[in-house]
Structure 1
Amino acid sequence: MESNLVSISNINGCVIIPTYNNDRTLARVVREVLEYVPSDRVIIVNDGATDSTPEILKTFEKEVTILVNEVNKGKGFSLRKAFKFAQEKGYDNAITIDSDGQHYPSDIPVLIEQAIQNPGAVIMGSRNMNQEGVPQKSSFGNKFSNFWFKVETWITLPDTQTGFRIYPLKPLRKIWLLTNKFELEIEVIVKLAWRFVPFVAVPIQVKYDPDERVSHFRPARDFTRISILNTCLVLIALIWYYPRKLFSVQTWKVIKHEAIKPEESNFKKALSIGFGFFMGIVPLWGFQLLIGIPLAVLFRMNKVLFIAAANISIPPMIPFIIYGSFICGQLFLTGETNPAQLVDLSLESIKNNAVQYFVGACIFATIAFILSFLVSFALLKIFRKEPPTNPK
């Protein structure tokens, strides 16, 4: 039976249910999904289950489409298989829902309504991870995932690990997905964001019943996979996505707003500039932005001002930075300066005086941070009105 509120046919969609050894909850989830979606639009992927899942699915095989992995391949593999099948059937959208019973199929109409209002967007069912009963590891993992998603895409989402989503299938045709396990759900949304597909977060219900729910997430193994994936995605974002995004008109508007940010205090702006100078000078050549951008996001600094200031380390400025670092290092380590020693600023001289350079660069970076913070804060105080503390 299809919902009286909205019809999945309005978005030309289907429902995908990947499942692996969830026989406690599978039948209930399928029955409840069928209350809102016609059976010919339901696709179940049996990912090599070894419990009573095959027997349960036999009771639905005349109603729904069942795809089978002969051996367990992983949730990501199952989703990719179902996406391809749905695309071949001509669907435009696919709703994914987990079979472990944590999601309420009654929220399907809520997601469909948002998909109708936001055609072509990824609709993310956002769980309340602070409610009672949510496992601590799930809450931490979600915060971890949200943080890296923002670093990789500049998009803030409250729940990037939700399995209850609506995917637009057309842009998925253009994406090369590599992963097969839980990390696919991170990979796919990052790569969709890189193609400027919009995202909409929708609050949904969630249920964590320890008596019936079986989680196949293995913290050590799967967290390692996700961490490796995030490392690769951050590197790709720095090399490809960030520069590409900078050339879009919409991005320039976002950058302008981020730089100006009327509600942001003068202190925070000056702090962002100072931190940018610090990271641009500190001896972490090649890794300043890779380390600095996540820290700027974490401490809610002005990312545009930070990146602009961090670019003090552009090639024309490098000799001056090295020279200043050596001077500071000499003064700190010997109590005196000898500029004549620095006439030959070659790689060999840097190598022979590595400790002096490293210590001096840290001191020079700290001095630059303090001076740039004080100067920019003073100028902002003079030329910019401080925003109200509690705007109404």
Structure 2
Amino acid sequence: MSAAPIFQSRFDALQCCVVIPTYNNERTLAAVIRGVLVYTNNIIIVNDGSVDNTVSILKDFPQLTIFHQPANQGKGNALKKGLQLAENGGYKYAITLDSDGQHYADDLDVFLTELEKKGRNEKEILLVGDRNMGQDGIPGKSSMGNKFSNFWYLVVTGQQLHDTQSGYRLYPLEIVNKIPLYTKKFEFEIEVIVKAVWRKVDVKNIPIKVLYQEGGERVSHFRPFKDIVRIVILYIWFVLVSFLYIHPKNKYQDFKEKGFRKFWKEDVLKSQEPAHKKAAAIALGIFVGISPFWGLHTLLVFVLAASFKLNKVIAFLFSNISIPPLIPIIIYASYQAGSVLTGHGFRWELNLTDFDSTSKIVESLWQYILGSMALAAFISFILWIVFYFLFSITNPKQVIKP
């Protein structure tokens, strides 16, 4: 009688399985399955319409749950099918890994260990393997694509991951299978983590190993142009949804739950943040509010605040300096600043005849843009000094340490 797989009891105790989507990976599929079988028998294979020897290979593993898609429908659809089969089979969690041979089966221990740390009453987790994309041997296009995705993930969720595109993951099935997911291909793995964060799931990276073989047996079905375009379009949609609906809704819910005083202290002032960062958030908001990018202020302030890891609520509040009563003053001051910077001096009187030709309008517009950027930089710098001083007095422990 053969011994049970090494982690079988852990998989069973956690009600966890492994889901492997596959498409035309005949050269690596059998080895991947055998590697996983060393650790567990709880394996679900979704054959996404392969036209190579995949069906024949899978006949050697009759003990596994195997589903054959009649035609190729994309990795996203294959994953959705696998996760649904897992929940229908009585599992609560599923670890997914690719069938191209880049993942190491012994890293299943990393996912199980992290899941075992989770308390019963703690919020659900979704784990994404961190492949350390900066290491030697990682293709440059993969590293750059991952950095692009990581940045926009930060913008739309306010949270940071070092690897957003790894297929080695652990999913909480009850939550994920209830999320409306519309993408069908590689962008599915971005859609699911963004929407999971929006539903208060704790999405985080855990370190894993990765094997990239140049010209070896590994076959990738990622199409650089088409799939990147899909990802870009998805993030554009997420930016609109997050700024216009998700972020405002979440902050309103926090406000209702905490009340004004607690919300102001924790979400606006964030007393745990150092003085220089709170002051920088105010300065950023003022800078964006005065800048000439009308109609884009909200988008800019959230993107920049996320990029510099500043308090988005504070930055957004102070960006609203460009409210109707102040708009004429900001435009006038910006124009005058531009006039001084372009060598025309301060002009006390402005007449409509100053804008009676196209060339003068273009010249005036340039003066306004130049002046508004200079004014925004000057005022934001002064306010950073003022608020840094005020926050430092309020809480001396928050002063920047030398």
**For the superposition of Structure 1 and Structure 2, which TM-score range results when normalised by the shorter chain?**
0.7 to 0.9
Alignment partners' CA distance in 2, 1:3 and 1:13: 14
Larger mean CA deviation between 72-81 and 370-379 belongs to 370-379
Instruction: Give 2:150's match in structure 1, choosing from 141, 146, 149.
Output: 146
From the superposition, tell whether residues 156 and 258 of structure 1 become closer, same or farther in structure 2 (CA, over 3 Å): farther
Q: Measure how far apart 1:84 and its partner are.
A: 2.1
Alignment partners' CA distance in 1, 2:242 and 2:248: 8
Aligned ranges 1:91-170 → 2 under 5 Å? 91-118=91-118, 120-170=124-174
Aligned to 2:59: 58
Larger mean CA deviation between 122-131 and 151-160 belongs to 122-131
Aligned ranges 1:228-307 → 2 under 5 Å? 228-246=233-251, 247-248=253-254, 252=263, 255-256=267-268, 258=270, 261-262=273-274, 266=276, 269-307=278-316
Alignment partners' CA distance in 2, 1:272 and 1:107: 40
Structure 2 length-normalised TM: 0.84
From the superposition, tell whether residues 289 and 100 of structure 1 become closer, same or farther in structure 2 (CA, over 3 Å): same
Pair 1:213-2:221 in alignment: no
Alignment partners' CA distance in 2, 1:85 and 1:53: 20
Alignment partners' CA distance in 1, 2:400 and 2:340: 42
Q: Measure how far apart 1:365 and its partner are.
A: 4.0
- Extract unaligned runs of 5+ from structure 1: 343-351
From the superposition, tell whether residues 284 and 372 of structure 1 become closer, same or farther in structure 2 (CA, over 3 Å): closer
From the superposition, tell whether residues 67 and 358 of structure 1 become closer, same or farther in structure 2 (CA, over 3 Å): farther
Instruction: Give 2:230's match in structure 1, choosing from 222, 225, 228.
Output: 225
Alignment partners' CA distance in 2, 1:254 and 1:383: 15
Is the contact between residue 94 and residue 170 of structure 2 (CA under 8 Å) also seen in structure 1? yes
What is the identity, as a one-letter code, of the residue corresponding to 1:3?
Answer: I
From the superposition, tell whether residues 257 and 110 of structure 1 become closer, same or farther in structure 2 (CA, over 3 Å): farther
Alignment partners' CA distance in 2, 1:254 and 1:147: 25
Q: Measure how far apart 1:122 and its partner are.
A: 0.6
From the superposition, tell whether residues 283 and 371 of structure 1 become closer, same or farther in structure 2 (CA, over 3 Å): closer
What is the identity, as a one-letter code, of the residue corresponding to 1:2?
Answer: P
Secondary structure (helix, strand or coil) at the match of 2:321 reads helix
Aligned ranges 1:280-359 → 2 under 5 Å? 280-325=289-334, 327-328=336-337, 336-338=347-349, 356=364, 359=367
Task: Kindly report the root-mean-square deviation, in angstroms, between the aligned alpha carbons of the 2 structures.
Answer: 2.8
Alignment partners' CA distance in 2, 1:254 and 1:129: 34
Aligned to 2:382: 374
Alignment partners' CA distance in 2, 1:196 and 1:362: 43
Alignment partners' CA distance in 2, 1:293 and 1:382: 24
Aligned length: 374
Pair 1:388-2:401 in alignment: yes
Alignment partners' CA distance in 1, 2:266 and 2:109: 32
Q: Measure how far apart 1:276 and its partner are.
A: 2.0
Q: Measure how far apart 1:286 and its partner are.
A: 2.3
Q: Measure how far apart 1:302 and its partner are.
A: 4.7
What is the identity, as a one-letter code, of the residue corresponding to 2:164?
Answer: T
Larger mean CA deviation between 178-187 and 191-200 belongs to 191-200
Q: Measure how far apart 1:36 and its partner are.
A: 1.2
C-alpha distance after superposition, 1:19-39 (max 9, x if no partner): 11111111011011111112x
Q: Measure how far apart 1:322 and its partner are.
A: 3.9
From the superposition, tell whether residues 20 and 383 of structure 1 become closer, same or farther in structure 2 (CA, over 3 Å): closer
From the superposition, tell whether residues 201 and 5 of structure 1 become closer, same or farther in structure 2 (CA, over 3 Å): farther
Is the contact between residue 329 and residue 357 of structure 1 (CA under 8 Å) also seen in structure 2? no
Alignment partners' CA distance in 2, 1:282 and 1:275: 10
Structure 1 length-normalised TM: 0.86
C-alpha distance after superposition, 1:194-239 (max 9, x if no partner): 0001123221111112212111111111111100000000110001
Secondary structure (helix, strand or coil) at the match of 1:95 reads strand
Q: Measure how far apart 1:321 and its partner are.
A: 3.1
Aligned to 1:190: 194
Is the contact between residue 44 and residue 67 of structure 1 (CA under 8 Å) also seen in structure 2? yes
Identity %: 42
